[in-house]
């Protein structure tokens, strides 16, 4: 049988989007630390401003270093294009602002990152965009929350804090039945563990800050355009299907078809909201993406080892991760995430809030930070930090029990990670 001779994932992680610099031969991606670009002549300048020909004008809209990262992430996701942003939150906002206007509505999973929840729940309503939150496992709830004003369904590939696995093909089908796109935050899976576009998602966004960068030294976000959704099939998406005065009446669908979203998100969203990624951050994040497949494989292996240890530990009453057979999405996870369900898990410590606090105060190797997806192992005890103002009942409502520890398993030698956890667990029981 003939097969498409496409370059494979690991190769694209290293090469996609970059050619050796034509003037210097630089093999590494150069940092084009510049705000602006010299025009050849007035005609070329006019052509660039008018979208007649491609090229760089000003680094808020595009930059050659950032463009390498954009092309690389689009390649890894199988998207037609990508737009990088200053942070993951900026990517989420850019995607929402590109396809929606006041009066529109979102149906979102209730188990999403707190920042994304805040934006949908508190901030977007000030601009006329409202959200109904649903249990991501309840397909009827997705369906019945859709209104005539709904413009997008949104969820995370792996939820927060229960590491709920989204049934991407099923929710994509619900979205498409209603003529709506499915947008996913795939930060926890990265394209190494799951390719949401192949499973039916239409827009994929990441906090590149996390596993894609992998080093915890630079913030970044990306919106990847799947290119398969027909924005002109209804009149629901006028920003893409109707003439736009910003470029003398251009219709992005008419001119760019399957790449309409990528083009509009840059031409309007980066131009006007300006949440651009810096070239230095793009450079740092690219160094991470080069080793993404190697790192994710090791993250998953270490996670498996750590889970085996935790399950056998007397001070740990429960462990929550899709690879554990008691997890509600265990079977789905095997189907959608054959390479592993990521490196973020939660577990309980016998003794509740106090024991959780003692555990955190006694880890030495693991870092106590409000972050996930670093090369280093990270821990946090929400009940004594991010959620400390909440009562036990409120915590339960947020899906966070008093004894819950969230762990982002890093790339250290697993024996050292385990020794650190064992020591802290012993200390947690000496109340």
Partner 1 sequence: MEVKLQEVTVNLATGGVKVDKSQPPVLLVHGAGMDRTVWSQQTRYLAHHGFAPMAVDLPGHGRSEGELLSTISEMADWVADLIHELDTGPVRLVGHSMGSLISLEVAARHTDAVERLILMGAAAAMPVHPELLGAAQRNEILAPQLMTAWAHGARAHVAGNPTPGLWMRSGCQALLERAADGVIHNDLAACNSYDAGDIAGRITCPVTVIVGSEDKMTPPKATAQLVAGFQEVDLRHLEGVGHMMMIEAPDRIREMMLSALR
Residue 5 within binding range of partner 1, rule CB under 8 A: yes
Stretches 14-22, 111-119, 302-310, 332-340: which one binds ligand PLP (CB under 6 A)? 111-119
Residue 53 within binding range of partner 1, rule CB under 8 A: yes
- Here the tokens at position 96 are 């929402």
Number of residues that bind partner 1 (CB under 8 A): 56
Cβ closer to ligand PLP: 158 or 363? 158
Per partner kind, with CB cut-offs from 5 to 8 A, the member of partner 1, ligand PLP, none near residue 329 is none
Residues 371-400 within binding reach of ligand PLP (CB under 6 A): 372
Please identify which residue in 68, 82, 89, 218 interacts with ligand PLP, judged by CB under 6 A. Answer: 89
How far does Cα 402 stand from its chain's mean position? 27
Site string for ligand PLP, 324-363 (x = CB under 6 A): ----------------------------------------
Site string for partner 1, 29-48 (x = CB under 8 A): -----------------xx-
Q: Are 386 and 370 within 8 A, CB to CB?
A: yes
Residue 360 within binding range of partner 1, rule CB under 8 A: no
Alpha carbons within 13 A on the beta-carbon side of 317: 12
Say how far apart CA 121 and CA 220 lie, in whole Å.
23
Cβ closer to ligand PLP: 115 or 128? 115
Residue 221 within binding range of ligand PLP, rule CB under 6 A: yes
In angstroms, give the least distance from the CB of 274 to partner 1: 16
Say how far apart CA 399 and CA 36 lie, in whole Å.
47
**Which residue reads 């429960």 in tokens?**
318
Per partner kind, with CB cut-offs from 5 to 8 A, the member of ligand PLP, partner 1, none near residue 83 is partner 1
Cβ closer to ligand PLP: 93 or 353? 93
Q: Looking at 62-138, list the stretches that DSSP marks H as alpha helix, in order from N- to C-terminal side.
A: 64-77, 88-99, 114-118
Please identify which residue in 10, 21, 71, 290 interacts with partner 1, judged by CB under 8 A. Answer: 71
| Residue 225: strand pairing partners | 81, 203
In angstroms, give the least distance from the CB of 204 to ligand PLP: 12
Q: Are 373 and 209 within 8 A, CB to CB?
A: yes
Say how far apart CA 373 and CA 364 lie, in whole Å.
18
Please identify which residue in 18, 187, 346, 377 interacts with ligand PLP, judged by CB under 6 A. Answer: 187
Angle, CA 303 vertex, CA 367 and CA 425 arms, to 5°:
55
Residue 250 within binding range of partner 1, rule CB under 8 A: yes
Task: Please report the sign of the dihedral spanned by the C-alpha atoms of residue 250, residue 251, residue 254, residue 256.
Answer: positive
In angstroms, give the least distance from the CB of 317 to partner 1: 46
Cβ closer to partner 1: 262 or 377? 262
DSSP notation for 270-318: IHHH--PPPHHHHHHHHHHHHTHHHHHHHHHHHHHHHHHHHHT-TT---
E strands, 110-211, in order: 130-134, 150-156, 182-185, 203-207
Q: Are 100 and 280 within 8 A, CB to CB?
A: no
Say how far apart CA 304 and CA 322 lie, in whole Å.
11
Cβ closer to ligand PLP: 64 or 88? 88
Angle, CA 370 vertex, CA 165 and CA 75 arms, to 5°:
50
**Which residue reads 């390649």 in tokens?**
75
In angstroms, give the least distance from the CB of 372 to ligand PLP: 6
Q: Which residues bind partner 1 (CB under 8 A)?
A: 1-2, 4-7, 15-19, 46-47, 50-56, 61-64, 66-68, 70-71, 74-75, 78-84, 226-228, 230, 232, 247-251, 254-259, 262, 266
Q: Which residues bind ligand PLP (CB under 6 A)?
A: 87-89, 113, 115-116, 156, 185, 187-188, 207, 209, 219, 221, 372
């Amino acid at each position: 049988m003939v097969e498409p001779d496409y370059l494979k994932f690991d190769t694209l992680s290293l090469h996609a989007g970059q050619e050796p610099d034509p003037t210097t031969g630089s093999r590494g991606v150069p940092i084009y630390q510049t705000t602006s670009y010299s025009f050849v002549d007035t005609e070329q300048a006019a052509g660039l401003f008018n979208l007649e020909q491609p090229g760089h004008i000003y680094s808020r809209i595009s930059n050659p270093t950032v463009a390498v990262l954009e092309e690389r992430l689009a390649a890894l996701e199988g998207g037609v294009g990508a737009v990088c942003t200053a942070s993951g939150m900026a990517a989420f906002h850019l995607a929402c602002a590109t396809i929606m206007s006041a009066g529109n509505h979102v149906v979102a999973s209730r188990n999403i990152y707190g920042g994304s929840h805040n934006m949908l729940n508190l901030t977007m309503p000030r601009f006329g965009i409202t959200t109904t939150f649903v249990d991501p496992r309840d397909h009827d709830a997705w369906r019945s929350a859709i209104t005539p004003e709904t413009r997008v369904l949104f969820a995370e590939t792996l939820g927060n804090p229960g590491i709920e696995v989204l049934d991407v093909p099923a929710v994509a089908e619900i979205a498409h039945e209603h003529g709506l796109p499915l947008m996913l935050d795939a930060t926890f899976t990265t394209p190494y563990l799951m390719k949401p576009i192949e499973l039916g998602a239409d827009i994929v966004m990441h906090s590149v800050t996390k596993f894609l960068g992998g080093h915890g030294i630079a913030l970044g976000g990306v919106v990847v355009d799947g290119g398969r959704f027909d924005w002109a099939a209804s009149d629901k998406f006028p920003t893409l299907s109707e003439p736009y005065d910003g470029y003398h009446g251009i219709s992005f669908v008419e001119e760019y078809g399957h790449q309409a979203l990528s083009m509009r998100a840059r031409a309007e969203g980066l131009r006007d909201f300006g949440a651009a990624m810096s070239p230095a951050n793009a450079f740092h994040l690219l160094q991470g993406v080069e080793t993404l497949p190697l790192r994710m494989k090791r993250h998953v292996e270490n996670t498996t080892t750590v889970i085996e240890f935790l399950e056998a530990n007397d001070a740990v009453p429960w462990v929550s991760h899709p690879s554990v057979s008691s997890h509600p999405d265990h079977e789905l996870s095997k189907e959608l995430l054959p390479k592993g369900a990521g490196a973020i898990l939660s577990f309980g410590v016998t003794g509740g809030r106090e024991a959780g606090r003692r555990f955190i105060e006694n880890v030495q190797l693991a870092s106590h930070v409000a972050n996930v997806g670093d090369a280093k192992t990270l821990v946090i005890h929400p009940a004594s930090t991010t959620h400390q103002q909440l009562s036990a009942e409120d915590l339960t409502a947020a899906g966070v029990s008093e004894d819950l520890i969230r762990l982002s398993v890093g790339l250290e030698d697993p024996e050292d990670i385990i020794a650190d956890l064992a020591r802290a667990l012993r200390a947690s029981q000496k109340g």
